[in-house]
Amino acid sequence: MQSNTFSGLFEGQNVITLQQVDSTNEYLKKELSKSRPLTEGTVILAVHQFAGRGQQGATWFSEPGRNLTFSLLLMPTFLNPKHQFRLTVAISLAIARWLEQLLSVGVKIKWPNDIYVGDRKIGGVLIENILKGKAWKSAIVGIGINVNQTDFPAAIRRRITSIKDYLREDSDIGELLTALCRSIEREYLALKQGQTEAQLASYKQRLYRLGERHPFLVSGVKVDGILLDITETGRLQIDFGGHVADFDIKEVAFVI
């Protein structure tokens, strides 16, 4: 099913709803490799995503028909690929601002782009960049938000939440998608206009555990540290009792 929902940048662009798909990111990637060109702003929305992918090779589980699982095609050709983190910032911020308005609560961003309310994850982002030589060609922005699901595996229930946990009623997935894409469009345009510093500052304001002492997993070893900052290239900076080091996503993990 196809429909046109957005205004402005994404005006007239497609929302393609799939009843069943392994992963909307994979689907969009395959479509991009075909000769038929897809336009920026195309959204692939899954009703039932049965093999959703998360960061670091994880799996993203979602009850059929109850959550937002979609991928958005962007073409941030205006950004140098060495500034990929700026897109992560813009997208995380767009989700956080949209949720804050919807739920009337503070939203946190767990570096680099997990979306948290309190100590619980409500959504996640998987951005896959497609580069052509040294230039950026396109970005597949996969987003999963827990919406109407309240039943989660016991082992993770205390670390997971959903929109329904806050609104106490079911939400319309289509309406949420439209509002979230508007928020993404706003931040994406701001990024295009070069408002990177302001976006990074707003991102850091919401940074989960900023300035707090917590254990981190470094090379399989649990070490206490204070989350100090994020570098310009998006590395996590931690102070281990006076020794400051920075890490990329594969090198460090939060202990939640």
Q: Is 31 exposed, middle or buried (0-12, 13-18, 19+ CB in 10 A)?
A: middle
User: Which of 5, 13, 17, 23 is the binder for ligand BTN (CB under 6 A)?
Assistant: 23
Q: Pattern 192-231, binding to ligand BTN, x per CB under 6 A? A: ----------------------------------------
Count of residues of this chain found to bind ligand BTN when the rule CB under 6 A is applied: 19
Q: Does 126 bind ligand BTN (CB under 6 A)?
A: yes
Q: Pattern 36-75, binding to ligand BTN, x per CB under 6 A? A: ----------------xxxx--x-x--------xxx----
Task: Give the Cα separation of 99 and 145 in Å (integer).
Answer: 10
Residue number, 22 or 243, with CB nearest to ligand BTN: 22
The size of the chain, in residues, is 256
The tokens of 127 are what?
A: 């951005």
Q: Which one of the spans 18-26, 99-107, 180-188, 226-234 is the region binding ligand BTN (CB under 6 A)?
A: 18-26
Matching residue, tokens 């804050």: 100
User: Which of 41, 76, 112, 144 is the binder for ligand BTN (CB under 6 A)?
Assistant: 144
Beta bridge partners of 218: 221, 252
Beta bridge partners of 246: 237
**H helix intervals, 19-159:** 24-33, 84-103
3-state secondary structure of 210: coil
Closest CA to 142 of 7, 1, 17, 46: 46
**Closest distance of CB 240 from ligand BTN, Å:** 26
Interface residue list for ligand BTN (CB under 6 A): 23-25, 52-55, 58, 60, 69-71, 114, 124-126, 142-144
